[in-house]
Chains A and B, each alone.
Chain A
Amino acid sequence: MSIKRDSISVGLAVGAAGAAFGAVAVASHFSVLQACVLSLFLFSGASQFALVAIIGGGGSPWSALATGAFLGTRNGLYGIRMAGLLQNRGWQRVVSAHITIDESTGMAIAQDNVEQARTAFWYTGFGVFFFWNLFTLLGAVGAKEIGSSAAWGLDVASPSIFVAVLWPRLKELRPKITALVAVAWALAITHFVPVGVPILTTVIIAVFAGWN
């Protein structure tokens, strides 16, 4: 039973960050409906924040689309692992693909056997989905009332979430250097290219870093 309880707790904790997304989206001139559609159908925190940041900052739709999609490649890799575990067919496969994210995959691979892993996957996936969408709506509606986003610190909500998500991936020297090179690259070219391009082109650095 505690797998179900743990999974739902993860869903609540992670889903609460949806309030920040809803608020940031509205502060970036997205409508409440657009914020909710992103949480329902894009349903990938990093892709959602990136898309809103690039469009809100005046970037092109293409760089927003490409950056959002590139940030989703990780979920595709999780899908390869989860498909073997879940052995789903038909519509179940469609639903399980949609809720294949960091948390559902992480909770599933932390379990001792296949049955528990499947339970953890579905409960965490649905838990995050439910709370992420609920809090997105609350955050978006709330942000319509508060006016200036800078006065409430909302303009650093998304970068500080990224710092918290990124940090555990930087334990070794090579990822640390890669991250710093990406920062330097983006800042160096920002003045000369359209908004969104500095972020998107860091993918080249990932190819160099991972080649050998």
Chain B
Amino acid sequence: MSSTWIVVIATSFAAFSLKFIGHLIPESWLEKPRVERITNYIPVVLLSGLIAMQTLTEKTKIVIDHRLAGLTVAIIAVIAKLPFPVIILGAMATSAIFYRYRI
């Protein structure tokens, strides 16, 4: 079995386990404010890191290219409170145009 398949299955198992454990533990756990604060920040930092890596790097090198143009449009669209599909398709179209014309 390839390592990709192992990651696919192991991560699925881990994610389900986390959900299921949540359904088993008592609600009083949520009353620990530090635990709640830290777990609220986890998606914020991971998603921020992912955005930066996916937009500005190629393997381990920092690269500025068409992707940054697309992401800039996404950020502007989010600030302008445009609908979700407009944000995504606007970013994709911009990135594709910059890529096509080698801007």
A76:B100 contact, CB within 8 angstroms: no
Please tell me which one of the listed residues B4, B48, B66, B96 contacts residue A55 in the complex, with CB atoms under 8 A apart: B4
Asked if A17 and B88 sit within 8 Å, CB to CB, the answer is yes
A198 near B12 with CB under 8 A, answer no
Interface residues as binary, A134-153 with B (CB distance below 8 Å gives 1, 0 otherwise):
00000000000000001111
**Size class of B's contact patch?**
35 or more
| Option from A38, A50, A93, A151 in Cβ contact (under 8 Å) with B100 | A151
How large, as a class, is the contact surface on chain A?
A: 35 or more
CB distance from A70 to the nearest CB of B (A): 6
**Shortest beta-carbon distance from A76 to chain B in Å:** 4
Q: Are A20 and B19 in touch, CB under 8 angstroms?
A: no
A117 adjacent to chain B (CB < 8 Å): no
The verdict on A98 contacting chain B, using a C-beta distance below 8 Å, is yes
- The smallest beta-carbon distance between B36 and chain A, in angstroms, is 7
Shortest distance between the CB of A41 and any CB in chain B (Å): 4
Residue in chain A with minimal CB distance to B99 = A150
User: Residue on A with the closest CB to B79?
Assistant: A167
Instruction: Say yes or no: B74 contacts A53, CB within 8 Å.
Output: no
Query: Can you list 14 A-B pairs, Cβ within 8 angstroms, ordered by A?
Result: A61-B3, A64-B11, A72-B15, A72-B18, A76-B19, A77-B39, A79-B18, A155-B54, A156-B94, A161-B88, A164-B84, A183-B49, A194-B60, A209-B37
Residues in A lying within 8 Å of B, measured CB to CB = 13, 16-17, 20, 30, 34, 37-38, 41-44, 46-47, 49-51, 53, 55, 57-58, 61, 64-65, 67-84, 88, 93-94, 96-98, 100, 150-167, 169-170, 175, 178-183, 185-187, 190-195, 198-200, 202-203, 205-207, 209-211
